[in-house]
Chain A
Amino acid sequence: MKLRSLPPAAVVALSLLSAAVSAIVPIPARAQTPPTNCATVEVQNVRPEQGMLMIAAYADAASFNKTPVVATQMKAGAATMTFPLCGLSGTWVALTLYQDLNGNGKLDANAFGIPSEPWGASGKPAAMSAPTWETTSVSLDGTTIVVKLSK
């Protein structure tokens, strides 16, 4: 699967307890830098062959859910997808993902801001709370990063 950093992939702040999902923030295009660090990502519970998998990676707490270091998308394939994610640096990374089933470029949510498309994050997101850097950051040490999309 060919990866490239894409301009305006959607970045979404997920919240289950506080006020509604924030507006979608378009991300400015990033210059293509040679891949300095790659991680193997395994995404589970993908709805096979439906829409696009949207991925954002963050490098630190300050930029978490604001400015991704990598934002990319790929066609949804099998229920479990494994792929390299490159362009990372440093020792920690946090990933947030969603599956854009209807191809409208954003994480759909219901009238209360609860996501109505599959979503997930790295690490161990605490139930009933928005993912934070603390709950989602994982070590960039060669271990496969597993993300389970919600069912």
Chain B
Amino acid sequence: MTTNFSVHRRDIVRGIGLFGLAAASGAWSRGASAAASDGAAFDAAVAGTPWLAPFKGVSDAGAAEGDLRCESLAVTGRWPAALRGRFYRNGPAIFERAGERYHHWFDGDGMVQQFTFSGGGAARVSHVGRLVRTQKRVAERAAGKFLYPAFGTGFSSDAPIQGPDSMNAANTNAIEHAGRVLALWEGGSAYALDPKDLSTIGPVTWQEGFEQIPFSAHPKLDAAGNLWNIGTFADKLVVWHVDAAGRLARVQTGISPYPNGMAHDTAMTAQYIVLPLPPVKMNYGAIARGAPPEQAFVFEKNEPLRILVMRKDDISQRRIFELPAQMLFHVGNAYERPDGSIALTFVSADNDEFLIHGAVALVAGHVQGETGSSMQSAVLDMKSGRATVEAMPGIVEFPRIDPRRIGVPARFVVAASNWKRHPGRDGGLFHGLQVRDLQTGNVDRFDYGESAVVEEHIVVPKPGATAERDAWLVGTTFDARKKVTRVNVIDAKHVADGPIAQASLPYSLPLGFHGNFTPA
């Protein structure tokens, strides 16, 4: 540990002290139906749900502005010498200002985590965590209170809104590409950070005339380093192609067949963008006026899950496939089969309970329901226009595959999973990890235990290996007993053995969403 750490800790403690102040006076109002989830109520609730403590969030008060740093994590087990590079994660980190709290997990301001694996014989792991310096956060930090409406929480302050980036939380994913770290958020610009120290460079405009057009949170890298991404806004959609040097190669715009929906993730094949459009109507205007998510986000059960397949070289050439109504956040993978059909795996639930209730309860310090999501395997017949889908048992989320196989056949899908009812957890979040063999149906899994919150694990291929399972699964867990966050390394061939190595921080991080690895 360096002396930097104790400085940050003082600021964190001071920041938490600030949270104890009485709620800010009503310079701005909240909707009548907003749950009274202020700081004190959260603290009381989380005493009974210690694994949700990270939802307190961090404070960006003081000179440290929320920065976290650890020069040398405590490593147990045998850290593979060849596992060398930078592991990034992003997630919502600020949930509270002046005693007032956000209502929804997706609201919090983004904090990017960078774990550097030195590799080699005496492998060392270091950590830097920094909040993204968005215009929004800088303004709210200066004001000492929330000013702008968030994904699931409205405020009626008179802070003027320019466009989507006025509300950009930059909180969903982080990927290092062409020498910069991109902090990604579904509704607006990517924010670029410097990989040397995670300092914020600023929002990325890929081309004049395309300022603030959403550059969504789940881009897909192909084998040549091209980054493909989508964005949606009202009835419009955009497909981005960024080349391996980080320059915009092409941008195409079109009209969405399901306007005002939530298009969170996309898949791609060699020739196509495969974009699921779940039938949930998002009325952000209602949120801004104080409506709760359960009123503003409407799951339209009588509409299909549309899968929009667009040619990468001309998105106006497209087909729309329809599957039974389901709520989808994430895809596993897609690829073109020899007969021309498209295989697509994804994770879905038959309701939107997590979006409108589960993700709200967590920020208030309790559990309501589960994600209820499981993996599906679909075939899209490009000749007939028909789609078939098969469900795979098991509650999962955060699906990931071998990054070298994005858009081509991949046999294995890694996912966080729930299969035990650990006492007191009520199925909240995930306790385990699984690897599913799509060919045989076999599932290997490991239970991290009742006091661990398991986060997304990504696939890091072993250098020099080509087989899909010659890889490490790298992901974080929050240890609710010790109140620390750990980075875990599991051998993909021996999942049931659990981590072969763990690097533990002396502090905990806010729970995050997605991340990526850059080999060094």
Name A residues whose Cβ lies closer than 8 Å to a Cβ of B.
Answer: 16-19, 45, 110-112, 114-116, 118-120, 124-129, 148-151
Contact = CB atoms under 8 A, between A and B. Distances in A.
A77 B236 CA distance: 37
Given A114-B213, A151-B135, A128 B285 contact: yes
Candidate in A19, A112, A125, A128 with the most chain B CB atoms within 10 angstroms: A112
A121 to B, nearest CB: 9
Contacts of A112: 213, 233-234, 236, 238, 253
A110 B160 contact: no
B288 A150 contact: no
A81 B160 CA distance: 17
A19 B288 contact: no
Contact of A151 (B160, B234, B288, B289): B160
A3 B159 CA distance: 28
Nearest to B149: A127
Interface in B195-254: 209-213, 233-236, 238, 253
Chain A at the B interface: SS class? loop
B209 A110 contact: yes
Interface of B: 135, 139, 148-149, 154, 156, 158-164, 166-167, 209-213, 233-236, 238, 253, 260, 284-285, 287-289
A128 B284 CA distance: 7
Contacts, number: 82
A124 B236 CA distance: 27
B234 A19 contact: yes
Nearest to A18: B234
Nearest to B284: A128
A127 B161 contact: yes
A142 B209 CA distance: 40
A128 B165 CA distance: 12
Contacts of A110: 163, 209-213
Contacts of B156: 124, 126
A116 B135 contact: no
B205 to A, nearest CB: 9
A115 B162 contact: yes
B160 A150 contact: yes
A114 B160 contact: no
Given A111-B209, A114-B163, A116-B211, A127 B288 contact: yes
A114 B235 CA distance: 13
A126 B209 CA distance: 25
Candidate in B210, B211, B235, B287 with the most chain A CB atoms within 10 angstroms: B211
Nearest to B234: A17
Nearest to A149: B160
A81 to B, nearest CB: 15
B143 to A, nearest CB: 13
Given A45-B160, A112-B234, A127 B148 contact: yes
Contacts of A149: 160
Contacts of B167: 127
B162 A111 contact: no
A95 to B, nearest CB: 13
Contacts of B162: 115, 118-119, 150-151
A38 to B, nearest CB: 24
A26 to B, nearest CB: 23
19 contacts: A17-B284, A18-B234, A110-B213, A111-B213, A112-B233, A112-B238, A114-B163, A114-B211, A115-B162, A116-B212, A118-B162, A119-B162, A125-B161, A126-B288, A127-B288, A128-B287, A129-B288, A148-B159, A151-B166
A111 B253 contact: yes
A34 to B, nearest CB: 34
B290 to A, nearest CB: 10
Nearest to B237: A112
A126 B285 contact: yes
B166 A150 contact: yes
A144 to B, nearest CB: 14
Contacts of A114: 163-164, 211-213, 233
Nearest to A114: B163
Contacts of A116: 163, 209, 211-212
Contact of B288 (A45, A120, A128): A128
A59 to B, nearest CB: 23
Contacts of B209: 110-111, 116
A115 B211 CA distance: 9
B328 to A, nearest CB: 23
A129 B285 contact: yes
B272 to A, nearest CB: 22
Nearest to A116: B211
Contacts of A16: 161, 163, 234
Contact of B161 (A18, A19, A111, A128): A128
Contacts of B158: 124, 148
A128 B150 CA distance: 11
B390 to A, nearest CB: 37
A119 B161 CA distance: 9
A127 B136 CA distance: 14
B160 A148 contact: yes
A50 B288 CA distance: 31
A60 B162 CA distance: 25
Given A110-B210, A111-B209, A151-B139, 18 more contacts: A16-B161, A16-B163, A45-B160, A110-B212, A111-B210, A112-B238, A114-B212, A114-B213, A115-B163, A116-B163, A120-B160, A124-B158, A127-B161, A127-B288, A128-B161, A149-B160, A150-B162, A151-B160
A21 to B, nearest CB: 11
Candidate in A45, A111, A118, A129 with the most chain B CB atoms within 10 angstroms: A111
Nearest to B164: A114
B235 to A, nearest CB: 7
B186 to A, nearest CB: 14
Nearest to B159: A148
A70 to B, nearest CB: 22
Contacts of B285: 17, 126-129
A128 B282 CA distance: 12
Contacts of A127: 148-149, 154, 161, 166-167, 284-285, 288
Given A114-B163, A118-B162, A151-B135, A128 B149 contact: yes
